[in-house]
């Protein structure tokens, strides 16, 4: 006889629903841990048979049943063991799922889109309180502490494309050490190398912001919406990889990290201090990273070497997913509550006012670097061409911001107003 669940058999005309064999486990806390767990698998009113070598378990069981309002039915001397019948008589308990198999895909794989079955697939509009880190679908005991999550509604964080984006993010991960052709980086003219280094400094600086802001909000999201947290984890990893790659490029060819402007830091600070997730998602993912996406496209077009081109190309693919989440998230909310548009207008106006509360000038080093890159050098003739291309870039950014805002459901007049007030920081 061992510590196991054996087949119950009829005792005094009563057939137990389950049996727990404690054999000769010494009395104490372990007994009642196992009995409690066995009860958790029973319905209210069902009967558990407990077997033990120890006769004194009877008195302990009777006391435990009185304390927890269960019913001690009977005890039987089996010769070399004792059998006790107790009836579960507590409050109705939730039961975990059993027997639900996830269907395999045609490629024999499972992905996150496949687990929305049974209790695990019961995605609520309002997450339950005191959930702690209990996985959705599991059964938590009473008394779980309040973890203080503040984003507890599906509309706070959800995007209808978040499951697809998570799967795409896993497939598209790249390594800034091994997936960049560092050995193809040849010496460039000093003015071109300086421009690349200045641009890489700016890109890394902005990606610090894009890493910190989602990370700040992750601890506030109720784990009931774990899919959003899992996606944001890939986003944070993307930004960490971008910072690594941009900084490596600035340092790899004899140049180095260059200048940071007050405009850039104030622009990023205005994003960092935003405490409303809805507004933050709009400002960062739709406006900021959307504009950043167009900047990366420009750099890729005029990159003077294969290493720079490869880095920004890979980063641009990642940023496309980040923008897609922002568009999906904001569109999801506005489709349910169109009046929330007012919050987006307020967010853009608040940021604009913050940036103009002090005269901070422009990021002159970055603009010059973009002109050098676009024109191919620092001569007057090349700079003229470069500045024309930078001006064209700014027009493209303006128009594409409007397009993204139309995608989330804003009218054209509102989209134009917000796009006009967007920061000149390119983020």
Same domain assignment for residues 205 and 354: yes
Same domain assignment for residues 311 and 224: yes
Residue 69's φ and ψ, nearest 5 degrees, are 65, 30
In order of 308, 339, 380, 415, 422, the CA distances from 336 in angstroms are 42, 9, 54, 19, 26
Separation between Cα atoms, residue 187 and residue 190, nearest integer Å: 9
pLDDT for 129 beyond 70 = no
pLDDT for 6 beyond 50 = no
Same domain assignment for residues 162 and 77: no
Query: What are the strands of the beta sheet with 47-52, ordered from one edge?
Result: 18-21, 47-52, 82-87, 71-77
Evaluate whether 14 touches 47 at the Cβ level (below 8 Å).
yes
Same domain assignment for residues 72 and 177: no
Domain count along the chain: 2
Evaluate whether 312 touches 300 at the Cβ level (below 8 Å).
yes
pLDDT of residue 90: 57
pLDDT of residue 2: 41
Closest CA to 306 of 260, 252, 256: 252
Query: Hey, what are 128's tokens?
Result: 């339950």
**Half-sphere exposure of residue 219, counting CA atoms within 13 Å on the CB side?**
7
Strands 47-52 and 82-87: antiparallel
Evaluate whether 198 touches 258 at the Cβ level (below 8 Å).
yes
Same domain assignment for residues 69 and 162: no
Averaged pLDDT for residues 79-101: 80
Q: What share of the chain is helix, strand, coil (3-state, %, to 5)?
A: 55, 5, 35
Residue 86's φ and ψ, nearest 5 degrees, are -130, 145
Q: Is residue 38 part of a domain?
A: yes
Averaged pLDDT for residues 179-206: 97
What is the tens place of the pLDDT at every residue in 17-76?
898 998 888 777 888 899 889 988 888 888 898 988 887 788 888 888 888 888 888 887
pLDDT for 302 beyond 90 = yes
Across the chain, what does the average pLDDT equal? 90
Separation between Cα atoms, residue 235 and residue 374, nearest integer Å: 29
Same domain assignment for residues 170 and 77: no
What is the tens place of the pLDDT at every residue in 234-292?
999 999 999 999 999 999 999 999 999 999 999 999 999 999 999 999 999 999 999 99
Of the candidates 87, 102, 117, which is a domain's last residue?
87
Evaluate whether 258 touches 250 at the Cβ level (below 8 Å).
yes
143: confidence class by pLDDT, cuts 50, 70, 90: low
Max CA separation in the chain (angstroms): 105
Q: Is residue 1 part of a domain?
A: no
Indicate the burial class of 397 (C-beta count within 10 angstroms; 0-12, 13-18, 19 or more): buried
Helix/strand/coil for 67: helix
Of the candidates 87, 118, 142, which is a domain's last residue?
87
Share of the chain above pLDDT 70, in %: 93
pLDDT of residue 91: 54
Evaluate whether 427 touches 288 at the Cβ level (below 8 Å).
yes
Same domain assignment for residues 254 and 161: yes
Averaged pLDDT for residues 339-349: 93
pLDDT of residue 403: 96
Q: Is residue 309 part of a domain?
A: yes
Angle at 230 between CA 179 and CA 173, to 5 degrees: 10
Evaluate whether 1 touches 25 at the Cβ level (below 8 Å).
no
What is the tens place of the pLDDT at every residue in 357-372?
776 667 899 999 999 9
pLDDT for 381 beyond 50 = yes
Q: Is residue 160 part of a domain?
A: yes
Evaluate whether 304 touches 192 at the Cβ level (below 8 Å).
yes
Closest CA to 283 of 377, 369, 201, 350: 350
12: confidence class by pLDDT, cuts 50, 70, 90: very low
pLDDT for 355 beyond 90 = no
Same domain assignment for residues 330 and 234: yes
Lowest mean pLDDT among 94-98, 99-103, 203-207: 94-98
pLDDT of residue 191: 97
Separation between Cα atoms, residue 215 and residue 213, nearest integer Å: 5
The length of the chain in residues reads: 427
Helix/strand/coil for 186: coil
Same domain assignment for residues 248 and 342: yes
Q: Is residue 119 part of a domain?
A: no
pLDDT of residue 359: 61
Question: At what angle are helices 306-336 and 162-171 packed, to 10 degrees?
Answer: 170
Question: At what angle are helices 380-408 and 306-336 packed, to 10 degrees?
Answer: 30
Range of the domain at 51: 18-87
Between these two residues, 399 and 16, which has the higher pLDDT value? 399
Q: Is residue 97 part of a domain?
A: no
pLDDT of residue 94: 67
Same domain assignment for residues 286 and 392: yes
Angle at 241 between CA 235 and CA 247, to 5 degrees: 135
Evaluate whether 227 touches 112 at the Cβ level (below 8 Å).
yes
Same domain assignment for residues 80 and 201: no
Of the candidates 53, 87, 121, which is a domain's last residue?
87
Q: What is the CATH number of the domain that holds 56?
A: 3.30.110.40
Between these two residues, 4 and 307, which has the higher pLDDT value? 307
Closest CA to 419 of 361, 344, 355: 344
pLDDT of residue 4: 44
Same domain assignment for residues 211 and 80: no
Q: What is the CATH number of the domain that holds 407?
A: 1.10.620.20
**Half-sphere exposure of residue 8, counting CA atoms within 13 Å on the CB side?**
20
């Amino acid at each position: 006889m061992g510590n196991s669940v054996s087949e119950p058999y009829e005792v005094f005309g009563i057939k137990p629903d389950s049996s727990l064999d404690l054999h000769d486990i010494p009395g104490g806390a372990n007994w009642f841990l196992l009995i409690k767990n066995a009860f958790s698998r029973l319905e209210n009113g069902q009967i558990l048979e407990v077997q033990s070598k120890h006769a004194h378990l009877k008195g302990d069981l009777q006391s435990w049943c009185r304390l927890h309002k269960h019913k001690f039915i009977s005890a039987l001397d089996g010769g070399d063991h004792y059998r006790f019948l107790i009836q579960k008589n507590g409050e109705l308990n939730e039961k975990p799922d059993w027997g639900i198999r996830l269907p395999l895909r045609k490629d024999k794989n499972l992905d996150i889109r496949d687990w929305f079955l049974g209790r695990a697939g019961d995605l609520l509009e309002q997450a339950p309180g005191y959930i702690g880190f209990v996985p959705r679908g599991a059964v938590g005991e009473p008394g779980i502490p309040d973890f203080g999550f503040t984003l507890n509604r599906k509309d706070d964080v959800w995007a209808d494309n978040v499951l697809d984006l998570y799967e795409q993010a896993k497939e598209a991960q790249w390594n800034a050490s091994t997936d960049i052709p560092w050995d193809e980086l040849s010496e460039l003219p000093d003015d071109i190398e300086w421009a690349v280094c200045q641009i890489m400094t700016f890109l890394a600086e902005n990606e610090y912001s894009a890493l910190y802001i989602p990370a700040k909000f992750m601890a506030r999201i109720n784990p009931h919406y774990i899919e959003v947290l899992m996606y944001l984890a890939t986003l944070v990893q993307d930004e960490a990889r971008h910072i690594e790659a941009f900084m490596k490029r600035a340092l790899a060819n004899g140049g180095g990290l260059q200048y940071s402007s007050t405009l850039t830091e104030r622009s990023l600070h205005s994003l960092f201090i935003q405490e409303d997730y809805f507004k933050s998602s709009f400002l960062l993912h739709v406006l900021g990273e959307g504009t950043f996406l167009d900047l990366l496209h420009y750099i890729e077009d005029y990159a003077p070497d294969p290493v720079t081109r490869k880095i920004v190309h890979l980063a641009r693919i990642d940023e496309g997913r980040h923008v897609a989440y922002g568009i999906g998230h904001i569109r999801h909310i506005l489709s349910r509550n169109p009046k929330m548009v007012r919050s987006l207008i307020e967010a853009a106006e608040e940021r604009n006012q913050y940036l103009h509360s002090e005269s901070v000038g422009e990021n002159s080093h970055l603009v010059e670097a973009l002109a050098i890159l676009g024109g191919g050098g620092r001569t007057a003739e090349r700079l003229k061409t470069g500045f024309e291309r930078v001006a064209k870039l700014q027009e493209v950014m303006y128009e594409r911001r409007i397009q993204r805002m139309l995608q989330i459901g804003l009218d054209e007049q509102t989209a134009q107003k917000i796009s006009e007030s967007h920061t000149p920081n390119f983020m």
